[in-house]
Every structure is written in C-alpha cells, then in structure tokens.
Amino acid sequence: MSFIELKNVCKKYAGAEKNSVTDFNLSIEEGEFIAFVGPSGCGKSTTLRMIAGFEEITGGDFYIDGKRMNTVLPRDRGISMVFQNYALYPHMTVEKNISYGLKNMKVPADEIKKKVDWAIDILGLSEYRYRKPKNLSGGQRQRVALGRAIVKDQKLFLMDEPLSNLDAKLRVSMRSEISKLHRELGSTTIYVTHDQVEAMTMADRIVIMKDGVIQQVGKPMELYEHPANKFVAGFIGSPQMNFYNVNVKGDTVTFENGNSIKLPDSVISKLAGRQGEMILGIRGEDIKLDPQNLDLYKNNKMSATVDSIEVMGNENNLYFSFGGTATVARVSKYEISQAGDEIEFVFIPSRIHFFDKQTEESLFNRRTLCRKFI
C-alpha cells in the first residue's frame, strides 16, 4: 500500500442533489509533491479538507501509512496545513507565531528554540523575527505560515491555494521557495491550486478535477503532451489549445470553413481507422509561420487575417479566425505581424490531437477517465 491511499472517496453535503466529490481514487508515494488543480467548484479543496479531517468523508476509505483515517481527529492525523489566508496571530511576533503550535504540543523549550531557529533561517526570516504580521509583506507572512507548518515535523503537508493572495512576481518567487523547501524536507505534499502554471512548475504529478471527478492524473509533461480528453487539453497550457470541428475522411481533414489538410500516415495510424465528425486540437506553438515550416509542409498551407496581437516580450501571440473558431498562434518575438495582416501558416501534423465529438475523450489516448488512476 502506498503512503497515502484514497479509495472511492465521495463527499455529498446535506441537502445537495449530487456529490461534490465522486469516486476519488489516488495513491501517493512518500515524498511526492502532488497538485490538485481545476476550476473553482471542482472539488479540489473539498478533497483536501477531507484528507485533513475538516470535512467528513461520506463514502470510501482514506489511509495514511496503512492506517484508515476516516474517523481519526484532525490533530491525530500527522498533518500540517498551510491556508490561503495565512491565519497568523496578529498580536504575536514571527517567532511566537511559528512556535505557538509546538508549545501547545508540550514540546520542551530548548527543542522549540532549535526548531524555530531552523525554520526562521531556512525561510530567510531572521531580520523579521520580532515583527508582527501587520509589519510584514504578503510573501513574508506566507513564509511565516510555512514556518509554523514545517516545525511540527509532520510527514504530510497540505497547502490550500497558499499563493493566491500574492502578486504575480511574488508568486513566482514563492513557487521556487516552496519547491526548494519540499526537496529539503522530503515530506509528502498535497498542494491545491486553480493555477495550472503553479501545478506544472511545482508538482511531481498533477490531479486534474472537474465537477468533483478526476479527469486525469500524471506528470506535468504527460498531461501536456497526452491529454486524456478535451477538458484536460484545454485546461493545461497557456494560451489554451485551439479546437476545431472537423470531418476526417481517409487522409483528409476538412474544417467548417471548407479548408482542408492532408494527414501523414503516422497520424492516420493513430486514428486506427476512425473517420467522420471529430474535434481537432492543436497548441499555439505548433502553428508555424516561419519560412522553413511553410516550405516543409507547403501542401498544407492555410491563410487568415490577423485580428490582434499580444506582444509578450519573449514571444508573440497572434489571434485570428480560422476553421470557424478563434485561433491563437504562439510565434517567435522576431515574427512580427500587425492587425489586418494576411498570414500563411501550417499545423505541425505530428502535434495534432483528435477528440471524440460526443465524449470528448482523446482518440490518441485511450485511458479511461479518472476512475482507475492509482
């Protein structure tokens, strides 16, 4: 049995018509960094709260290190938790905020000092040791909240959107700090976020949820390269994947506006004989405008008029209408276009995804949705 086991875990609130979380199955190895990600209301925080013991599990079983935890009190689960709102005591200094939990646990004073000194040093809080929360920045407060959690020396850390109150620049630096802290401590971490960039950059594996159901579990690049369905494909990646309603007949793909492209044998073989109406997906970076690719795939050249441009510094996002839908292409910063320009472009054939029109499951990735991920 893995360090953490959730088996068919469900949550249904009193008076609700349906479950908030349904058949949640997941195994987590000791020392893993797992991110729960999905849109608001998908059940990720509810699942975290069931793990913490703040919410009752209404179906299924939850184990830590082989011990069933469904009815174990939160304080007896061996868990440290970091909240979104920091939950610091405003009248206490940094030092006292970090040490408070240890005092309640009746830890000897000399050991408390040793642990607090270590946490303050590892989190870079030495110069703020005697400040109160009102005199700290958001990032400093978040580090204090982390310090309060790590001194308890628990095997499992739970983090519920801990960076959502910080500005964009600070979030980037705090992501790095939390990842470094996880490596140094070697503890198992479950991290809840609505930000797929946080999940992609921090986690060993990501659990993507929608409507209380796991959609896919995997390593960041596995989810990016091999999404199980259209939802995962659209959720992971920024800007999101482009989708088109198409008709496939033989080696020819026809778009709603009448444009068509030819598929190479390598892509046709992955479709395994499927034809007819389906959804084509392609990421913006796999739409190419450069001369080399235009020449390489010259038989599949298409054209459109640029509607708008986002200059990102390191790259440009070109927005245009094609195939009956809004499209975005991520191009080099050296590929400069203006709104109103006519552009030629190609899709990299090997980077095309196909999804079933009805179920929206990937036609290249035949894994069953969510229920059997372990």
Going from N- to C-terminal start, the domains of the chain cover 4-230, 240-356
- Whether the bond between 108 and the residue before it is cis, its omega within 30 degrees of 0, is no
**Percent of the chain topping pLDDT 70:** 97
- Whether residue 50 is predicted with pLDDT greater than 50 in this model: the reply is yes
The SS3 of residue 354 is: strand
pLDDT 10s digits, 300-354? 999 999 999 999 999 999 999 999 899 999 999 888 889 999 999 999 999 999 9
pLDDT 10s digits, 178-202? 898 888 888 899 999 999 999 999 9
Give residue 1's pLDDT.
Answer: 80
**Nearest CA-CA partner of 47 in 8, 86, 84, 3:** 8
The pLDDT of 108-125, averaged and rounded, is 91
- 266 by Cβ neighbours in 10 Å (0-12 / 13-18 / 19+) ranks as exposed
CA 60, CA 36: separation in Å to the nearest integer? 19
CA 287, CA 198: separation in Å to the nearest integer? 25
Q: 1 has which bridge partners?
A: none
Give residue 366's pLDDT.
Answer: 53
Among the four given CATH numbers 2.40.50.140, 3.30.430.20, 1.10.3680.10, 2.40.30.110, the one describing domain 240-356: 2.40.50.140
The pLDDT of 48-65, averaged and rounded, is 96
- Whether residue 128 is predicted with pLDDT greater than 50 in this model: the reply is yes
CA 209, CA 24: separation in Å to the nearest integer? 10
Nearby residues of 314 by Cβ (< 8 Å), 6 or more positions away: 333
Give residue 357's pLDDT.
Answer: 95
Stronger pLDDT, 105 or 213, i.e. the higher one: 213
Q: Using the 8-state DSSP alphabet, how is residue 155 labeled? A: S
Give residue 339's pLDDT.
Answer: 93
Element spanning 48, H or E? helix 44-52
**Weakest mean pLDDT among 111-115, 140-144, 248-252, 300-304:** 140-144
- Whether residue 164 is predicted with pLDDT greater than 90 in this model: the reply is no
pLDDT 10s digits, 216-246? 999 999 999 999 999 999 999 989 999 999 9
Residue 87 burial (CB count, 10 A): 12
CA 247, CA 107: separation in Å to the nearest integer? 68
User: Distances from the Cα of 286 to the Cαs of 28, 338, 344, in angstroms?
Assistant: 33, 20, 14
Among the four given CATH numbers 3.40.50.620, 3.40.50.1370, 3.40.50.300, 3.40.50.2300, the one describing domain 4-230: 3.40.50.300
Give residue 373's pLDDT.
Answer: 42
Give residue 364's pLDDT.
Answer: 87
The SS3 of residue 250 is: coil
User: Distances from the Cα of 189 to the Cαs of 9, 48, 63, 248, in angstroms?
Assistant: 19, 11, 15, 44
Element spanning 185, H or E? helix 168-185
- Strands, E, within the chain: which ranges? 4-11, 21-28, 33-37, 59-64, 67-68, 79-82, 156-160, 188-193, 205-210, 213-218, 242-249, 252-255, 260-262, 276-282, 287-288, 302-311, 315-322, 325-332, 342-347, 353-356
Give residue 369's pLDDT.
Answer: 40
CA 344, CA 299: separation in Å to the nearest integer? 12
CA 206, CA 196: separation in Å to the nearest integer? 9
Q: Which residue do the tokens 């395994």 mark?
A: 272
Give residue 370's pLDDT.
Answer: 41
- Residue 374 pLDDT grade (very low, low, confident, very high; cuts 50, 70, 90): very low
- Residue 83 pLDDT grade (very low, low, confident, very high; cuts 50, 70, 90): confident
Max Cα-Cα span within the chain: 76
- Residue 123 pLDDT grade (very low, low, confident, very high; cuts 50, 70, 90): confident
Mean pLDDT of the chain: 91
- Whether residue 153 is predicted with pLDDT greater than 50 in this model: the reply is yes
- Residue 152 pLDDT grade (very low, low, confident, very high; cuts 50, 70, 90): confident
Stronger pLDDT, 166 or 47, i.e. the higher one: 47
| 256: amino acid identity, one letter | E
**Weakest mean pLDDT among 54-58, 69-73, 166-170, 208-212:** 166-170
